[in-house]
Amino acid sequence: MHILEGQGVTKLFGGLAAVSNVDFHVDQGEIVGQIGPNGAGKTTLFNLISAALPFSSGEIRFKGQKLNGLKPNQICQKGVARTFQQTKIFADMPVFQNVLVGASFGTPNRLSQADAAREASQKLEFVGLSAMSATLVKDLTLVNQKRVEVARALATKPELLLLDELMAGLNPTEVSEAMELVRKIRDEGITIFMVEHVMKAIMGICGRVMVLHHGEKIAEGTPQEISCNKQVIEIYLGEEAHAGS
């Protein structure tokens, strides 16, 4: 079953098509990766799904329901949560309160204050931050701030999680831990759609990958298929790949 489906999704910034007539889908229980060079439109596509930006044309359906015209808070309550490429945390609030915001406002059915608090502490435990629940988020390291964002998104009880470059800026050990975390989230029954530049992560955990370039979808398939695709190699490695072949 397609949990998320987009048809002819287009976003124009003035004359520039940041996302141009993209069809895509994500199936229930999948981990789908989105790759492409900088400026390819990956984050813009996420911004369209989560309603951070309005569409120019096309439509996106979540579980068969149209998302067009909804506000970000409504999309979150429908079950689509996200993290941000540039972490957008509540810097002056403690870790626990950050996650509590997600549990208090983002869930499909409103939780009581006690339930929201329980949900928040469970999610903090899930990402391994229980010990830091009273620390101000601005005092955390980047990797922990990213974990807070994941816990905050999970606290909204999503069915689909959009991860925007979760691994960017992490060291190799942290990348392995983050990959483990993503698998653990999928095992909870949450579908994952992720933008990633770290190829190790894409190859290791994604079942399917789509490639964007200049706002257009140029390839789609398993990580192995994508890594052999001539056009993708050209975009990523440039002309020298030909010289070598």
Partner 1 sequence: MDITRFIPTNRKLLLVGLLILIIFLTTFPLYSKEYYIRLMAIIFMYIVLAVSWAMFSGPTGYMSLAPAAFFGVGVYTAALLYQLKGPLLPLPAIIVVGSLASFTLAFLTGLVTLRLKGIYFAIFSFGLVVFLKELINYLEIHVSKVGGRHISYVSNTTVFYILLGICVATLLTAYFIRRSRLGLAMQSIGGNEEAAAHMGVNTTRVKILTFAISAVFMGAAGATTAPRLVYIDPGLAFNVTYSFIPILMAVFGGMGTLYGPVIGAAVFAYTEIRLRQQYPYYYMLTWGIILIIIIFFLPAGLAGLIPKLRDRLGGPISKLRKGGEAEEHAHT
Site mask for partner 1 (CB under 8 A), range 43-72, x = bound? -------x-x------------------xx
Stretch that binds partner 1, among 99-107, 170-178, 198-206, 220-228 (CB under 8 A): 99-107
Would you count residue 106 as binding partner 1 (CB under 8 A)? yes
CB of 199 to partner 1, least distance (A): 27
Residue 142 contacts partner 1 per CB under 8 A: no
**Interface with partner 1, residue 31, by CB under 8 A:** no
In the list 64, 92, 172, 189, the residue contacting partner 1 (rule: CB under 8 A) is 92
**H-helix or E-strand spanning residue 233:** helix 230-237
DSSP secondary structure string for all residues of 93-108: SBHHHHHHHHHHHSSS
**What Å distances lie between residue 70 and 28, 76, 237, 242, CA to CA?**
22, 10, 39, 46
Sequence-distant (≥ 6) Cβ neighbours of residue 187 within 8 angstroms: none
Distance CA 204, CA 141 (A): 25
What whole-number distance in Å separates Cα of residue 30 and Cα of residue 3? 10
Pairing of strands 160-164, 57-62: unpaired
Smallest gap from residue 5 Cβ to partner 1 (A) = 21
Q: Which residues have C-beta within 8 Å of that of residue 141, sequence separation ≥ 6?
A: none
Contact 101, 152 (CB under 8 A): yes
Nearest to 73 by CA among 96, 99, 50, 98: 50
**Phi-psi bin for 69: left (phi > 0), alpha (psi -120 to 50), beta?**
left
Q: Which is nearer to partner 1, 91 or 131 (CB)?
A: 91
Based on the shown chain and the rule CB under 8 A, indicate whether residue 101 belongs to the binding site for partner 1.
yes
With respect to partner 1, which residue has the nearer C-beta, 101 or 203?
Answer: 101
Nearer to partner 1, 95 or 202 (CB): 95
Smallest gap from Cβ 74 to partner 1, in A, equals: 8
- Cβ of residue 42: shortest distance to partner 1, in angstroms? 17
Stretch that binds partner 1, among 57-65, 97-105, 123-131, 219-227 (CB under 8 A): 97-105
Query: What are the residues binding partner 1 (CB under 8 A)?
Result: 50, 52, 71-73, 75-77, 81-82, 84, 88-93, 97, 100-102, 104-107, 113, 152-153, 156
